[in-house]
A and B are shown apart, each in its own frame.
Chain A
Amino acid sequence: MTYAAEISRANPACIVFLVDQSASMSDPIGGGAPQRKSEVVADAINRLLAELSVKCAKEEGVRDYFHLAAIGYGHTVGSAFTGPLAGRELVPLSQVADRPARVEKRVKKVPDGAGGLVETTTGFPVWVDPVAHGATPMCRALARAEALVSDWVGRHPDCFPPIVLNLTDGESTDGDPTSAAWSVQTHVSADGAALLFNLHVSATNSVPVTFPTSDAALPDSYARTLFGMSSVLPPHMRFYALQQGVAATETTRGFVYNADITSIVQFLDIGTRATDLR
Protein backbone atom coordinates (compact mmCIF):
# COMPACT_ATOMS: atom_id res chain seq x y z
CA MET A 1 0.00 0.00 0.00
CA THR A 2 2.55 2.53 -1.11
CA TYR A 3 0.96 4.46 -3.99
CA ALA A 4 4.35 4.26 -5.68
CA ALA A 5 3.62 2.02 -8.67
CA GLU A 6 5.09 3.21 -11.93
CA ILE A 7 2.52 4.71 -14.28
CA SER A 8 3.52 3.68 -17.79
CA ARG A 9 2.05 2.40 -21.03
CA ALA A 10 2.75 -1.14 -19.82
CA ASN A 11 1.17 -0.41 -16.43
CA PRO A 12 -1.38 2.34 -17.03
CA ALA A 13 -3.57 3.98 -14.41
CA CYS A 14 -7.31 4.53 -14.52
CA ILE A 15 -9.21 7.70 -13.69
CA VAL A 16 -13.00 7.82 -13.56
CA PHE A 17 -14.69 11.21 -13.52
CA LEU A 18 -18.23 11.32 -12.19
CA VAL A 19 -20.10 14.41 -13.36
CA ASP A 20 -23.28 15.55 -11.64
CA GLN A 21 -25.70 16.50 -14.43
CA SER A 22 -28.83 16.93 -12.31
CA ALA A 23 -31.32 19.82 -12.61
CA SER A 24 -29.87 21.55 -9.54
CA MET A 25 -26.64 22.02 -11.46
CA SER A 26 -28.34 24.83 -13.45
CA ASP A 27 -28.11 27.07 -10.37
CA PRO A 28 -25.36 29.66 -10.31
CA ILE A 29 -22.24 28.89 -8.32
CA GLY A 30 -21.75 30.83 -5.08
CA GLY A 31 -19.43 33.75 -4.66
CA GLY A 32 -21.04 36.01 -7.26
CA ALA A 33 -19.43 34.28 -10.23
CA PRO A 34 -21.64 34.38 -13.34
CA GLN A 35 -21.27 30.66 -14.15
CA ARG A 36 -23.78 27.91 -13.50
CA LYS A 37 -22.63 24.87 -11.54
CA SER A 38 -23.02 22.66 -14.63
CA GLU A 39 -20.67 24.97 -16.55
CA VAL A 40 -18.15 24.94 -13.70
CA VAL A 41 -17.96 21.14 -13.54
CA ALA A 42 -17.87 20.79 -17.34
CA ASP A 43 -15.02 23.32 -17.50
CA ALA A 44 -13.25 21.52 -14.64
CA ILE A 45 -13.39 18.13 -16.29
CA ASN A 46 -12.41 19.53 -19.72
CA ARG A 47 -9.44 21.28 -18.11
CA LEU A 48 -8.44 18.08 -16.31
CA LEU A 49 -8.61 16.07 -19.54
CA ALA A 50 -6.56 18.74 -21.35
CA GLU A 51 -3.98 18.91 -18.55
CA LEU A 52 -3.58 15.12 -18.53
CA SER A 53 -3.21 15.09 -22.32
CA VAL A 54 -0.52 17.75 -22.22
CA LYS A 55 1.24 16.03 -19.31
CA CYS A 56 1.50 12.79 -21.29
CA ALA A 57 2.21 14.38 -24.68
CA LYS A 58 5.36 13.36 -26.49
CA GLU A 59 6.41 14.22 -30.01
CA GLU A 60 4.88 11.05 -31.46
CA GLY A 61 1.53 11.68 -29.72
CA VAL A 62 -0.03 11.31 -26.30
CA ARG A 63 1.12 8.23 -24.42
CA ASP A 64 -1.48 5.98 -22.85
CA TYR A 65 -0.32 6.33 -19.27
CA PHE A 66 -3.98 6.72 -18.29
CA HIS A 67 -7.34 5.34 -19.35
CA LEU A 68 -10.20 7.69 -18.57
CA ALA A 69 -13.95 7.53 -18.16
CA ALA A 70 -16.39 10.40 -17.72
CA ILE A 71 -19.68 9.18 -16.28
CA GLY A 72 -22.55 11.65 -16.10
CA TYR A 73 -25.38 11.24 -13.64
CA GLY A 74 -28.70 13.04 -13.75
CA HIS A 75 -31.56 12.07 -16.03
CA THR A 76 -29.54 8.92 -16.63
CA VAL A 77 -26.20 7.37 -15.62
CA GLY A 78 -23.74 6.83 -18.47
CA SER A 79 -20.90 8.20 -20.54
CA ALA A 80 -20.73 12.00 -20.35
CA PHE A 81 -18.51 12.28 -23.42
CA THR A 82 -19.91 14.21 -26.32
CA GLY A 83 -18.60 14.16 -29.88
CA PRO A 84 -16.63 11.19 -31.27
CA LEU A 85 -16.29 9.53 -27.83
CA ALA A 86 -20.04 9.70 -27.04
CA GLY A 87 -21.27 6.54 -25.34
CA ARG A 88 -17.80 5.23 -24.48
CA GLU A 89 -16.61 4.59 -20.94
CA LEU A 90 -12.90 3.87 -20.31
CA VAL A 91 -10.92 5.40 -23.18
CA PRO A 92 -7.09 5.43 -23.60
CA LEU A 93 -5.75 8.95 -23.10
CA SER A 94 -4.33 9.15 -26.66
CA GLN A 95 -7.83 8.72 -28.06
CA VAL A 96 -9.21 11.33 -25.66
CA ALA A 97 -6.54 13.80 -26.79
CA ASP A 98 -7.11 13.14 -30.48
CA ARG A 99 -10.90 13.24 -30.35
CA PRO A 100 -12.36 16.23 -28.51
CA ALA A 101 -15.86 17.17 -29.60
CA ARG A 102 -14.54 20.59 -30.58
CA VAL A 103 -11.88 23.13 -29.68
CA GLU A 104 -13.41 26.40 -28.50
CA LYS A 105 -11.65 29.75 -28.51
CA ARG A 106 -11.39 31.12 -24.99
CA VAL A 107 -9.94 34.41 -23.81
CA LYS A 108 -7.41 34.20 -21.00
CA LYS A 109 -5.12 36.68 -19.33
CA VAL A 110 -1.40 36.05 -19.45
CA PRO A 111 1.58 38.03 -18.09
CA ASP A 112 2.66 40.77 -20.49
CA GLY A 113 6.28 40.61 -19.35
CA ALA A 114 6.09 44.04 -17.76
CA GLY A 115 4.25 43.11 -14.59
CA GLY A 116 0.76 43.37 -16.07
CA LEU A 117 -1.69 41.08 -17.81
CA VAL A 118 -2.78 40.95 -21.40
CA GLU A 119 -5.72 39.10 -22.94
CA THR A 120 -4.99 36.35 -25.42
CA THR A 121 -7.09 33.75 -27.21
CA THR A 122 -6.40 30.12 -26.51
CA GLY A 123 -7.85 26.83 -27.70
CA PHE A 124 -10.05 25.04 -25.16
CA PRO A 125 -10.81 21.42 -26.11
CA VAL A 126 -14.23 20.19 -25.06
CA TRP A 127 -15.21 16.59 -24.38
CA VAL A 128 -18.01 17.15 -21.86
CA ASP A 129 -20.83 19.70 -22.22
CA PRO A 130 -22.75 21.31 -19.35
CA VAL A 131 -25.93 19.34 -18.68
CA ALA A 132 -28.55 19.97 -15.94
CA HIS A 133 -31.48 17.62 -16.17
CA GLY A 134 -33.15 15.17 -13.81
CA ALA A 135 -32.40 13.90 -10.30
CA THR A 136 -29.00 13.20 -8.66
CA PRO A 137 -28.44 9.41 -8.62
CA MET A 138 -25.03 9.68 -6.96
CA CYS A 139 -25.22 6.19 -5.44
CA ARG A 140 -25.83 4.67 -8.88
CA ALA A 141 -22.97 6.72 -10.31
CA LEU A 142 -20.62 5.53 -7.57
CA ALA A 143 -21.74 1.97 -8.20
CA ARG A 144 -20.91 2.40 -11.90
CA ALA A 145 -17.49 3.78 -10.94
CA GLU A 146 -16.98 0.84 -8.59
CA ALA A 147 -17.72 -1.60 -11.42
CA LEU A 148 -15.16 0.13 -13.66
CA VAL A 149 -12.58 0.21 -10.86
CA SER A 150 -13.17 -3.42 -9.94
CA ASP A 151 -12.74 -4.53 -13.54
CA TRP A 152 -9.62 -2.38 -13.93
CA VAL A 153 -7.76 -3.72 -10.87
CA GLY A 154 -8.74 -7.24 -11.95
CA ARG A 155 -7.00 -6.65 -15.28
CA HIS A 156 -4.15 -4.51 -13.89
CA PRO A 157 -3.37 -5.96 -10.45
CA ASP A 158 -0.08 -4.04 -10.10
CA CYS A 159 -1.39 -0.67 -11.25
CA PHE A 160 -1.24 2.64 -9.48
CA PRO A 161 -4.62 2.55 -7.71
CA PRO A 162 -7.58 3.88 -9.72
CA ILE A 163 -8.75 7.39 -8.95
CA VAL A 164 -12.42 8.35 -8.98
CA LEU A 165 -13.11 12.08 -9.04
CA ASN A 166 -16.69 13.08 -8.33
CA LEU A 167 -17.77 16.58 -9.39
CA THR A 168 -21.09 17.49 -7.80
CA ASP A 169 -23.23 19.90 -5.79
CA GLY A 170 -23.60 17.08 -3.30
CA GLU A 171 -27.39 16.70 -3.22
CA SER A 172 -27.75 12.95 -3.80
CA THR A 173 -31.36 11.89 -4.46
CA ASP A 174 -30.97 8.11 -4.39
CA GLY A 175 -29.80 7.78 -0.81
CA ASP A 176 -26.81 8.48 1.38
CA PRO A 177 -23.78 8.00 -0.92
CA THR A 178 -21.39 7.22 1.95
CA SER A 179 -21.68 3.46 1.65
CA ALA A 180 -21.32 3.46 -2.15
CA ALA A 181 -18.29 5.74 -1.78
CA TRP A 182 -16.72 3.33 0.70
CA SER A 183 -17.31 0.41 -1.66
CA VAL A 184 -15.29 2.15 -4.39
CA GLN A 185 -12.34 2.40 -2.02
CA THR A 186 -12.40 -1.30 -1.12
CA HIS A 187 -10.93 -2.25 -4.50
CA VAL A 188 -7.22 -2.71 -4.13
CA SER A 189 -4.25 -3.21 -6.42
CA ALA A 190 -0.86 -4.39 -5.16
CA ASP A 191 -0.02 -0.71 -4.75
CA GLY A 192 -2.99 0.44 -2.68
CA ALA A 193 -6.72 1.02 -2.48
CA ALA A 194 -8.69 3.00 -5.06
CA LEU A 195 -8.92 6.69 -4.26
CA LEU A 196 -12.10 8.77 -4.27
CA PHE A 197 -11.82 12.54 -4.48
CA ASN A 198 -14.66 15.05 -4.56
CA LEU A 199 -15.09 18.51 -6.06
CA HIS A 200 -18.08 20.19 -4.44
CA VAL A 201 -19.62 23.11 -6.35
CA SER A 202 -22.13 25.02 -4.31
CA ALA A 203 -24.48 27.97 -4.68
CA THR A 204 -23.68 28.90 -1.09
CA ASN A 205 -21.62 32.04 -0.85
CA SER A 206 -18.84 30.49 1.26
CA VAL A 207 -15.08 30.68 1.29
CA PRO A 208 -13.45 28.20 -1.17
CA VAL A 209 -11.68 25.29 0.54
CA THR A 210 -8.86 23.23 -0.99
CA PHE A 211 -7.74 19.87 0.42
CA PRO A 212 -8.85 20.43 4.04
CA THR A 213 -7.73 18.37 7.02
CA SER A 214 -11.12 18.47 8.71
CA ASP A 215 -14.72 19.36 7.93
CA ALA A 216 -14.80 22.14 10.52
CA ALA A 217 -14.77 25.00 8.01
CA LEU A 218 -17.28 23.43 5.63
CA PRO A 219 -20.60 25.25 5.38
CA ASP A 220 -23.23 22.51 5.14
CA SER A 221 -24.03 18.84 5.54
CA TYR A 222 -23.54 18.14 1.81
CA ALA A 223 -19.97 19.39 1.98
CA ARG A 224 -19.32 17.47 5.20
CA THR A 225 -20.71 14.27 3.68
CA LEU A 226 -18.51 14.66 0.59
CA PHE A 227 -15.49 15.39 2.79
CA GLY A 228 -16.17 12.24 4.79
CA MET A 229 -16.45 10.22 1.56
CA SER A 230 -13.10 11.48 0.25
CA SER A 231 -9.86 9.49 0.54
CA VAL A 232 -6.98 10.73 2.62
CA LEU A 233 -4.21 11.96 0.31
CA PRO A 234 -1.41 9.37 0.03
CA PRO A 235 2.02 10.60 1.24
CA HIS A 236 3.43 11.54 -2.18
CA MET A 237 0.29 13.54 -3.02
CA ARG A 238 0.59 15.34 0.32
CA PHE A 239 4.16 16.21 -0.66
CA TYR A 240 3.00 17.76 -3.94
CA ALA A 241 0.11 19.52 -2.19
CA LEU A 242 2.62 21.05 0.23
CA GLN A 243 4.68 22.21 -2.76
CA GLN A 244 1.55 23.97 -4.02
CA GLY A 245 1.12 25.78 -0.75
CA VAL A 246 -1.54 23.53 0.80
CA ALA A 247 -0.97 22.89 4.51
CA ALA A 248 -1.36 19.15 3.97
CA THR A 249 -1.15 16.73 6.89
CA GLU A 250 -1.82 13.03 7.41
CA THR A 251 -5.55 13.77 7.64
CA THR A 252 -5.79 15.90 4.48
CA ARG A 253 -8.46 14.58 2.15
CA GLY A 254 -8.93 14.78 -1.59
CA PHE A 255 -11.77 17.28 -1.35
CA VAL A 256 -12.20 20.73 -2.85
CA TYR A 257 -15.07 23.14 -2.22
CA ASN A 258 -15.86 25.76 -4.90
CA ALA A 259 -12.20 25.81 -5.93
CA ASP A 260 -9.96 24.61 -8.75
CA ILE A 261 -9.05 20.94 -8.64
CA THR A 262 -6.89 20.90 -11.79
CA SER A 263 -3.82 20.87 -9.55
CA ILE A 264 -4.54 17.22 -8.86
CA VAL A 265 -2.92 16.39 -12.22
CA GLN A 266 0.35 17.57 -10.67
CA PHE A 267 -0.06 14.89 -7.98
CA LEU A 268 0.50 12.16 -10.59
CA ASP A 269 4.02 10.96 -11.37
CA ILE A 270 4.92 9.82 -14.86
CA GLY A 271 8.66 10.44 -14.57
CA THR A 272 11.07 13.31 -14.09
CA ARG A 273 9.12 16.52 -13.68
CA ALA A 274 9.87 19.41 -16.00
CA THR A 275 10.50 21.97 -13.26
CA ASP A 276 12.04 25.39 -13.83
CA LEU A 277 14.95 26.59 -11.71
CA ARG A 278 14.16 29.08 -8.98
Chain B
Amino acid sequence: MYTSSLRAPKQGNSPRECEDAHLVLPRCEPDDWLTGPVCAAVADGASESLLAGEWATLLATSATGAAREDEDVLRDGERFAAALVDAGEAWREWLVGYVAAREADDRPIAWYEQPKLDRGPHSTVLAARFAGGPSATTRWDAAALGDSCLFHIRDDRLLRAFPVESSAAFDNSPGLVNAFERDLALLARHVRTASGEAEQGDQVFLCTDALAAWFLHETERGQRPWQVLGEFTPHGDLDGFSAWLERVRAEGAMRNDDVTVVHVDLG
Protein backbone atom coordinates (compact mmCIF):
# COMPACT_ATOMS: atom_id res chain seq x y z
CA MET B 1 0.00 0.00 0.00
CA TYR B 2 1.04 3.61 -0.53
CA THR B 3 0.60 6.24 2.14
CA SER B 4 0.70 10.01 1.92
CA SER B 5 -0.46 12.91 4.04
CA LEU B 6 -1.15 16.62 3.93
CA ARG B 7 -1.62 19.11 6.75
CA ALA B 8 -2.59 22.77 6.46
CA PRO B 9 -3.40 25.46 9.03
CA LYS B 10 -6.58 27.41 9.39
CA GLN B 11 -6.70 30.37 6.98
CA GLY B 12 -4.96 33.30 8.68
CA ASN B 13 -2.75 31.10 10.85
CA SER B 14 0.86 30.16 10.22
CA PRO B 15 1.88 26.50 9.70
CA ARG B 16 3.53 26.69 13.15
CA GLU B 17 0.11 27.45 14.64
CA CYS B 18 -1.53 24.37 13.14
CA GLU B 19 -2.85 22.22 16.00
CA ASP B 20 -3.59 19.12 13.94
CA ALA B 21 -1.10 16.28 14.03
CA HIS B 22 -0.58 13.00 12.25
CA LEU B 23 1.89 10.15 12.05
CA VAL B 24 2.28 7.18 9.73
CA LEU B 25 4.53 4.25 10.65
CA PRO B 26 6.69 3.07 9.11
CA ARG B 27 7.79 6.49 7.93
CA CYS B 28 7.95 6.48 4.15
CA GLU B 29 7.68 8.51 0.98
CA PRO B 30 4.41 8.59 -1.03
CA ASP B 31 5.89 6.37 -3.73
CA ASP B 32 7.18 3.71 -1.32
CA TRP B 33 5.15 0.49 -1.58
CA LEU B 34 4.62 -0.96 1.91
CA THR B 35 3.81 -4.61 2.44
CA GLY B 36 4.00 -4.88 6.23
CA PRO B 37 1.50 -3.52 8.73
CA VAL B 38 0.98 0.23 8.48
CA CYS B 39 -0.24 2.28 11.44
CA ALA B 40 -1.52 5.82 11.12
CA ALA B 41 -3.15 8.38 13.38
CA VAL B 42 -4.56 11.87 13.12
CA ALA B 43 -5.32 14.14 16.08
CA ASP B 44 -6.98 17.52 16.27
CA GLY B 45 -6.04 19.75 19.22
CA ALA B 46 -8.89 21.90 20.56
CA SER B 47 -8.50 25.59 19.71
CA GLU B 48 -9.40 26.67 23.24
CA SER B 49 -6.63 24.56 24.79
CA LEU B 50 -3.11 25.65 25.56
CA LEU B 51 -0.41 23.52 23.89
CA ALA B 52 -3.11 21.77 21.87
CA GLY B 53 -0.79 21.09 18.95
CA GLU B 54 1.86 19.56 21.20
CA TRP B 55 -0.74 17.30 22.84
CA ALA B 56 -2.19 16.30 19.46
CA THR B 57 1.33 15.38 18.30
CA LEU B 58 2.00 13.32 21.41
CA LEU B 59 -1.40 11.65 21.16
CA ALA B 60 -0.94 10.74 17.48
CA THR B 61 2.54 9.42 18.23
CA SER B 62 1.37 7.39 21.24
CA ALA B 63 -1.66 5.95 19.45
CA THR B 64 0.37 4.97 16.39
CA GLY B 65 3.05 3.41 18.56
CA ALA B 66 0.50 1.46 20.60
CA ALA B 67 -1.19 0.18 17.44
CA ARG B 68 2.18 -0.94 16.09
CA GLU B 69 3.10 -2.79 19.27
CA ASP B 70 -0.22 -4.51 19.84
CA GLU B 71 -2.54 -5.41 16.95
CA ASP B 72 -5.49 -5.71 19.34
CA VAL B 73 -5.27 -2.20 20.80
CA LEU B 74 -7.57 -0.79 18.11
CA ARG B 75 -10.09 -3.63 18.44
CA ASP B 76 -10.87 -3.10 22.09
CA GLY B 77 -12.10 0.19 23.53
CA GLU B 78 -10.56 -0.45 26.94
CA ARG B 79 -7.13 -1.22 25.53
CA PHE B 80 -7.24 1.92 23.41
CA ALA B 81 -8.38 3.92 26.45
CA ALA B 82 -5.37 2.52 28.35
CA ALA B 83 -3.11 3.74 25.54
CA LEU B 84 -4.67 7.21 25.92
CA VAL B 85 -3.98 7.18 29.67
CA ASP B 86 -0.37 6.20 28.89
CA ALA B 87 -0.17 9.19 26.55
CA GLY B 88 -1.36 11.36 29.45
CA GLU B 89 1.49 10.04 31.60
CA ALA B 90 3.93 11.00 28.85
CA TRP B 91 2.32 14.44 28.74
CA ARG B 92 2.97 15.01 32.43
CA GLU B 93 6.66 14.28 31.90
CA TRP B 94 6.79 16.49 28.81
CA LEU B 95 5.08 19.34 30.65
CA VAL B 96 7.66 19.39 33.45
CA GLY B 97 10.34 19.96 30.83
CA TYR B 98 8.25 22.59 29.05
CA VAL B 99 7.66 24.63 32.19
CA ALA B 100 11.35 24.38 33.11
CA ALA B 101 12.33 25.51 29.62
CA ARG B 102 10.01 28.50 29.85
CA GLU B 103 11.56 29.45 33.20
CA ALA B 104 15.07 29.05 31.77
CA ASP B 105 14.04 31.18 28.81
CA ASP B 106 12.97 33.93 31.25
CA ARG B 107 9.43 33.53 29.97
CA PRO B 108 7.62 31.99 32.95
CA ILE B 109 4.03 30.78 32.62
CA ALA B 110 1.76 33.85 32.55
CA TRP B 111 -1.29 34.24 34.80
CA TYR B 112 -3.64 33.71 31.86
CA GLU B 113 -1.89 30.49 30.81
CA GLN B 114 -1.92 28.83 34.23
CA PRO B 115 -5.64 27.89 34.39
CA LYS B 116 -5.42 26.17 30.99
CA LEU B 117 -2.12 24.51 31.88
CA ASP B 118 -3.72 23.19 35.07
CA ARG B 119 -6.70 21.89 33.13
CA GLY B 120 -4.58 20.18 30.49
CA PRO B 121 -4.97 20.23 26.71
CA HIS B 122 -7.73 18.48 24.76
CA SER B 123 -7.61 16.71 21.41
CA THR B 124 -9.48 14.22 19.27
CA VAL B 125 -7.64 11.13 18.09
CA LEU B 126 -8.19 8.53 15.39
CA ALA B 127 -5.78 5.64 14.84
CA ALA B 128 -5.88 2.90 12.23
CA ARG B 129 -3.84 -0.21 11.47
CA PHE B 130 -3.66 -1.87 8.05
CA ALA B 131 -2.28 -5.39 7.77
CA GLY B 132 -2.35 -7.87 4.91
CA GLY B 133 -4.21 -11.09 5.58
CA PRO B 134 -3.75 -14.58 4.14
CA SER B 135 -5.82 -13.66 1.08
CA ALA B 136 -5.39 -10.61 -1.13
CA THR B 137 -7.31 -8.47 1.31
CA THR B 138 -6.01 -6.05 3.92
CA ARG B 139 -7.67 -5.94 7.31
CA TRP B 140 -8.06 -2.56 8.90
CA ASP B 141 -8.87 -1.76 12.50
CA ALA B 142 -9.56 1.73 13.76
CA ALA B 143 -10.26 3.36 17.10
CA ALA B 144 -11.40 6.91 17.63
CA LEU B 145 -12.33 9.36 20.31
CA GLY B 146 -13.93 12.46 18.85
CA ASP B 147 -14.82 13.48 15.33
CA SER B 148 -11.70 12.78 13.29
CA CYS B 149 -12.90 10.33 10.65
CA LEU B 150 -11.90 7.36 8.51
CA PHE B 151 -13.45 6.93 5.08
CA HIS B 152 -13.17 3.65 3.13
CA ILE B 153 -13.73 3.96 -0.61
CA ARG B 154 -14.34 1.10 -3.01
CA ASP B 155 -15.36 1.18 -6.67
CA ASP B 156 -15.76 4.93 -6.54
CA ARG B 157 -18.26 4.95 -3.70
CA LEU B 158 -18.08 5.46 0.05
CA LEU B 159 -18.17 2.04 1.69
CA ARG B 160 -17.71 3.08 5.31
CA ALA B 161 -17.52 6.30 7.33
CA PHE B 162 -16.26 6.02 10.89
CA PRO B 163 -17.02 7.19 13.57
CA VAL B 164 -19.18 10.04 12.18
CA GLU B 165 -21.54 9.08 9.39
CA SER B 166 -23.37 12.31 8.63
CA SER B 167 -22.17 15.86 7.96
CA ALA B 168 -24.94 17.14 10.24
CA ALA B 169 -23.37 15.39 13.22
CA PHE B 170 -20.38 17.75 13.47
CA ASP B 171 -20.36 20.59 16.01
CA ASN B 172 -17.71 22.49 17.95
CA SER B 173 -17.96 20.31 21.07
CA PRO B 174 -16.70 16.90 19.94
CA GLY B 175 -15.49 14.20 22.32
CA LEU B 176 -11.95 15.08 23.35
CA VAL B 177 -9.12 13.37 25.17
CA ASN B 178 -7.84 15.51 28.02
CA ALA B 179 -4.19 14.92 28.88
CA PHE B 180 -5.01 14.64 32.61
CA GLU B 181 -7.94 12.26 32.20
CA ARG B 182 -7.13 9.01 34.01
CA ASP B 183 -10.62 7.55 34.21
CA LEU B 184 -10.18 4.48 32.05
CA ALA B 185 -13.86 3.55 32.09
CA LEU B 186 -14.91 7.07 31.08
CA LEU B 187 -12.47 7.13 28.18
CA ALA B 188 -13.47 3.62 27.10
CA ARG B 189 -17.14 4.66 27.06
CA HIS B 190 -16.32 7.33 24.50
CA VAL B 191 -13.95 5.29 22.34
CA ARG B 192 -15.41 3.86 19.14
CA THR B 193 -13.83 0.98 17.27
CA ALA B 194 -14.40 -0.41 13.79
CA SER B 195 -12.82 -2.96 11.49
CA GLY B 196 -13.07 -3.79 7.82
CA GLU B 197 -11.55 -5.61 4.90
CA ALA B 198 -9.91 -3.58 2.17
CA GLU B 199 -9.30 -4.93 -1.30
CA GLN B 200 -6.75 -4.00 -3.88
CA GLY B 201 -7.77 -0.68 -5.40
CA ASP B 202 -9.56 0.55 -2.28
CA GLN B 203 -8.72 3.94 -0.83
CA VAL B 204 -8.82 4.95 2.81
CA PHE B 205 -8.68 8.54 4.09
CA LEU B 206 -8.16 9.67 7.67
CA CYS B 207 -9.34 13.27 8.08
CA THR B 208 -9.72 15.83 10.85
CA ASP B 209 -13.17 17.32 11.35
CA ALA B 210 -13.48 20.25 8.93
CA LEU B 211 -12.29 18.14 6.01
CA ALA B 212 -14.35 15.17 7.21
CA ALA B 213 -17.52 17.29 7.40
CA TRP B 214 -16.89 18.59 3.88
CA PHE B 215 -16.18 15.03 2.68
CA LEU B 216 -19.47 13.69 4.05
CA HIS B 217 -21.45 16.69 2.81
CA GLU B 218 -20.07 16.27 -0.68
CA THR B 219 -20.86 12.54 -0.61
CA GLU B 220 -24.40 13.25 0.61
CA ARG B 221 -24.99 15.46 -2.42
CA GLY B 222 -23.76 12.83 -4.83
CA GLN B 223 -20.22 14.10 -5.33
CA ARG B 224 -16.97 12.12 -5.11
CA PRO B 225 -14.76 14.03 -2.66
CA TRP B 226 -12.18 11.21 -2.63
CA GLN B 227 -11.37 12.09 -6.20
CA VAL B 228 -10.73 15.70 -5.22
CA LEU B 229 -8.39 14.72 -2.37
CA GLY B 230 -6.74 12.16 -4.65
CA GLU B 231 -5.56 15.01 -6.89
CA PHE B 232 -3.28 16.27 -4.12
CA THR B 233 -2.42 13.46 -1.72
CA PRO B 234 -0.42 11.01 -3.87
CA HIS B 235 2.19 13.64 -4.68
CA GLY B 236 2.07 15.47 -1.35
CA ASP B 237 0.99 18.56 -3.30
CA LEU B 238 0.66 20.98 -0.37
CA ASP B 239 0.61 24.11 -2.54
CA GLY B 240 -2.22 22.77 -4.68
CA PHE B 241 -4.05 21.51 -1.61
CA SER B 242 -3.70 24.87 0.16
CA ALA B 243 -4.95 26.77 -2.90
CA TRP B 244 -7.94 24.42 -3.14
CA LEU B 245 -8.66 24.85 0.60
CA GLU B 246 -8.63 28.61 0.19
CA ARG B 247 -11.21 28.30 -2.58
CA VAL B 248 -13.63 25.98 -0.81
CA ARG B 249 -13.39 27.99 2.41
CA ALA B 250 -14.10 31.20 0.50
CA GLU B 251 -17.15 29.52 -1.05
CA GLY B 252 -18.34 28.61 2.44
CA ALA B 253 -18.17 24.90 1.59
CA MET B 254 -15.69 24.15 4.38
CA ARG B 255 -15.33 25.55 7.88
CA ASN B 256 -12.10 27.48 8.40
CA ASP B 257 -10.08 25.13 10.58
CA ASP B 258 -6.80 23.25 10.60
CA VAL B 259 -6.94 20.38 8.12
CA THR B 260 -5.13 17.03 7.99
CA VAL B 261 -5.57 14.07 5.69
CA VAL B 262 -3.75 10.74 5.60
CA HIS B 263 -4.36 8.72 2.43
CA VAL B 264 -3.81 4.97 2.37
CA ASP B 265 -3.92 3.69 -1.20
CA LEU B 266 -4.34 -0.06 -1.43
CA GLY B 267 -2.85 -0.02 -4.93
Contacts and interface: CB of A to CB of B under 8 A. Distances in A.
Interface stretch (B114-122, B225-233, B259-267): B114-122
Given A9-B12, A57-B116, A270 B111 contact: no
Interface stretch (A48-56, A80-88, A221-229): A48-56
Contact of A269 (B111, B172, B181, B189): B172
A274 B12 contact: no
Interface in B116-150: 116, 119, 121-122
A17 B186 CA distance: 40
Contacts of A54: 112, 115-116
B46 A271 contact: yes
A137 B116 CA distance: 39
A273 B112 contact: no
Interface in A1-45: 6, 8-10
Interface string A97-135: 100000100000000000000000001010000000000
Contacts of A125: 111
Interface string B163-186: 000000000111110100100001
A58 B51 CA distance: 7
Main secondary structure of the interface of A (DSSP, over half): loop
A271 B47 contact: yes
A277 interface: yes
Interface size class of A (residues with CB under 8 A): 20 to 34
Nearest to B44: A272
A272 B48 contact: yes
A250 interface: no
Contacts of B209: 272
Contacts of A273: 46, 48, 172-173
Contacts of A270: 47-48
A59 B50 contact: yes
Contact of B178 (A10, A57, A269, A277): A277
Contacts of A123: 111
B12 A57 contact: no
Interface string A166-187: 0000000000000000000000
Given A54-B112, A58-B50, A274 B122 contact: yes
B8 interface: no
Contacts of B195: none
Interface centre among A50, A54, A61 (most CB of B within 10 A): A54
B115 A59 contact: no
Contacts of B178: 274, 276-277
Contacts of A188: none
Contacts of A6: 256
Nearest to B51: A59
Nearest to A62: B112
A277 B175 contact: yes
B224 interface: no
Given A103-B111, A269-B172, A275 B50 contact: no
Interface in B18-53: 44, 46-52
Interface of A: 6, 8-10, 50, 53-55, 57-59, 61-62, 97, 103, 123, 125, 269-278
Interface of B: 10, 12, 17, 44, 46-52, 110-113, 115-116, 119, 121-122, 172-176, 178, 181, 186-187, 189-190, 209, 256-257
